[in-house]
Each structure stands twice: as C-alpha cells, then as structure tokens.
Amino acid sequence: MAGADEIHITPGMQRYIDRNNAYLERRSTYIRDVVKKWKFDTIAVHGLYSVEDALDDYQGSIIEPVFMSSSQAYRDSDEMECALAYLIPTWCYSRIANPSTYFYEWALALMEGYGFDGETSCCSTSSGMAAIMTAVQPFLVHTEQHVHEPRNFLATAQCYGGTFQQFSIRLMEERGIECRWIEDPTDIDAWASRIDKNTRFLYGELPSNPAQGFFDIKAVADLAHSHNLPLICDNTVGTPALLRPLCHGADIVIESATKSLTTSGFGVAGAVISRNNITTTIDNPQMKENFAAYVKYLPNRDIGPNLHPMQAILTLNDMRTLRSKMDMLSRNTMKVAKFLEGHPAVESAEYLGLPSHPLHELASRYMWLVDAEYDELYGKPVNRYGHLMSFCVKGDVQNTRDVFDGLQRIWRATDLGRIKSVVTIPAISTHQQQGEEGRKLANIPPNLIRLCVGGEHPDDTIADLDQALNRVASSTKVSMAGAAK
C-alpha cells in the first residue's frame, strides 16, 4: 500500500507476491460468488471464516481463534520485506492488524454492506470514540502549506455526549477546527447553508443517543456529494440489522460495537466501515479508493487505537445473532414505550416506533428489520426501531430522580445496547460535561430518563417501571388527578 515504487522487487519477493495475489483472488471470488449471495443471518453467523479456512489453517476450530500474539513471524527476508511494504496481505504486528480482528472486520464490512451493490471494508478500533476519531481525522489534514488554513465540518447537534466532547473540545477548542452544529438535521437547507469551500465532511448520528434524532440520509448524502464531500454516519443505535446507511449513499459508517453489537456487555469495541471510492476533496488516491484499509494500515498504524484480539472475538460472537436480537429487543421496546406513553406520571415518551413521534414517518422509511420478507414469521418487510427510547417524568427534577432511584430490576448505568434493561439520566451522566447550553442544543431536558429495553419479558420491565412511577404519581396525586381531566 505504501512506498511500493521505492522497493526493488527480487524474484524471491515476486513469488510471495504471486502467491498472495492468488489468495486475494480466491477471497474476492468467494465473497462475490458465495458470501454476497447469503442472507444476513448467514453472513452474521459465518462472516469470512469458512470450513476450508478452519481445516487448512486453524486445526478445524469451528470458532475463529483468538490470536493473542503481538506479532507475526516471516519465513525469510523476502517475505518480511514484502509484508512491511504492504505488498502482500499481512498482519505483521497486532497494533496494525491481527487474524482475530480480521474476521471481526470482515463480518462487519459484510453486514453493513448487506444489500449494497459494491465493496465495503472495515477497520476495527478499540472503542466507538476511537472509530469516530479514525473516521474524521483524515479529512482534517492540511491540504496546503500554510498551517492556519481554516477547516470546518458539519455535525448533527443531537449526538452522543462523547462525540459532542470530541468535536467541541478536542477539535474546536484545542485545534481550531470549526464544528458547525446542525440543530434540525431534517432541514436540508440548514445543512446546505453551512457548507463552504473549507468544509471537509458532513457527520450525522441516527437515531441519535438519547434524543432519537433522525434525518433523511439520502438527501444529506446527495447534498454532501454535490459539494464533493463525504457523509459519515454513526449507526450505533440502529445497527446493520435495522439500518445500513451505506445503502442510502453514506460514504463511511462508524459503530460503537460496545452497544447493541455486543449485547452481552463483554467490553468496549468500535469499527469504521467504508464503501470503496468515497467522495472527498482531499487529494489522496489511497484514502479515496479504500478508506477503511487506508486508515487501518497508515494513520492508525502510527496512532495505535487498535482493538484487542480477545475483544474482537467476544464481540464477533455476539454479532452472530444480531438480527433476531434486534427484532426481539425492538418489539419489547415498542410495548414498553406504549405503556410509558399512557402513564399519568409520564410527561412524554420518545420512541421512533411510536406514531406520535414527529420523526416516526421519516424513520419508518429507513428502519427495517433486515430480511423480514424472508422470515417465516413475517413474510413481508416490517419496521423495527431498536431498543433505545426515553421518557420525561412529570413535575420537578426530584420526581425524575425518585422514579430512577425506585427502579428495582432495571440497572442504573451509563450504558446501552445490553440484553439487560438499563437506564440513565443523561443530564447528570452522559451529557453532564457539555453544560446546560450544550444540552439545550442536543435537546436533553433535566427530567429525561434514557431507557434501553433489554431481553427480559416486557411485562416484567413494565411492572418495574410502573411501581417506580407510581411512587411519584401517588405523592402528587392531586395534581395528577387534575391533569387527567
């Protein structure tokens, strides 16, 4: 990938190159003729790890092996030189690549690329935040000699608290790179009017955490491309089982695999997935052609936000059942959301699946349970909206805390995507650091409780919420009775 033209290729090296080209050819054929024809569940279960792979290279292990090795040894100097010049596929050193992360990356590239007519690639990262950094930094490089070149990018104001901090503190405050927050991303003119010649990319989280923001991916991607800019989407909340932004024109997707992709909660992981030939004004052919491979083998090699092989396999193992889990979790959330919407102590319940949600129709155009039409149970496309929702408690902030503290089975944690139901109060946790101003921008009122509904029977989750809500409902009975009329 780098510097091949400076290297003198000996006949010994050429043998390695030929052998590895033959391997790449076999892999492309296998992806094109076999894997790309599978349904989503088959891809999620197997990814690129085949029976042949297992028998030839991994002693028949039916699970992808965990390669807890810092580095790879080479047969001779020819192979080493080819490998370090990236003339042959290599993993070399676990900061750069590793066979376990390789299988995790391919599974995600194929899942996000399901239904997409073209090639996709993935670069694993140690966390979702590292994935965001990995995805945005290559667009913020200096393109001319002078150091004080103004640079800006656009991003949805409703986003994860960590993303807000990375953009507003690390990039804006500390590096002078302007983040232009888009408060209403459904307003295409709001995006269009903020783009200028110094804009490097458009960034959108959807559905957003926790405010359930959404936007028209295709319209924003078209706008970005008309300015020769890429659209980067954070697909953490939707997951590829419900939403695949690459199919709608996004150039790059980031995932915090920590969340619904690792439902078990066994650790932190992330990924950047790109389609080939992204749109960008940055004059860098390697980066344009295969962004994920570029960031993996060059910038991230030098920065080091790599994923641990053990974590890669733990997460990969969770991802195999993603479709059926997201279906179940979405259905549970729908039931809980309907209950909360009707509870007298609840001011409002926000869930994209509720017809009362202002973005319900827009989200319904994009959020579908993958392959529902091939599912025996459904036999037709069905909308699913994930398991993140939120609700506001009536009355003062103390009421919100009382409901929160009164929960008996639901876990109080700054976490989501779990098989166990989890709640948090964003204003005092995930979105605490950005201050009142930032919270207002992101639409986070102090009485908002974020709820991520798990795999428990929804009736039990509802019972827990009901008993906690009834504590404040009974203590403010008079006003409630008044409100009911």
Q: Which is nearer to ligand PLP, 289 or 415 (CB)?
A: 415
Shortest CB 194 distance to ligand PLP, Å: 22
Looking at 47, 162, 299, 426, which residue binds ligand PLP (CB under 6 A)?
Answer: 162
Shortest CB 327 distance to ligand PLP, Å: 20
Position 480: which residue type? M
Shortest CB 442 distance to ligand PLP, Å: 12
Q: Does 252 bind ligand PLP (CB under 6 A)?
A: no
List the one residue out of 314, 197, 315, 200 whose CA is nearest residue 255.
315
Q: Measured between alpha carbons, how far is 52 from 31 in angstroms, rounded to an integer? A: 14
Q: Which is nearer to ligand PLP, 207 or 395 (CB)?
A: 207
Q: Which is nearer to ligand PLP, 92 or 423 (CB)?
A: 423
Q: Which is nearer to ligand PLP, 129 or 246 (CB)?
A: 129
Shortest CB 363 distance to ligand PLP, Å: 15
Q: Does 259 bind ligand PLP (CB under 6 A)?
A: yes
Q: Does 127 bind ligand PLP (CB under 6 A)?
A: yes
Looking at 48, 268, 451, 473, which residue binds ligand PLP (CB under 6 A)?
Answer: 268
Q: Does 256 bind ligand PLP (CB under 6 A)?
A: yes
Shortest CB 447 distance to ligand PLP, Å: 21
Q: In the complex, which residue's CB is closest to ligand PLP?
A: 128
Q: Does 134 bind ligand PLP (CB under 6 A)?
A: no
Q: Does 205 bind ligand PLP (CB under 6 A)?
A: yes
Residues that bind ligand PLP (CB under 6 A): 127-129, 160, 162-163, 205, 209, 234, 236-237, 256, 258-259, 268, 270
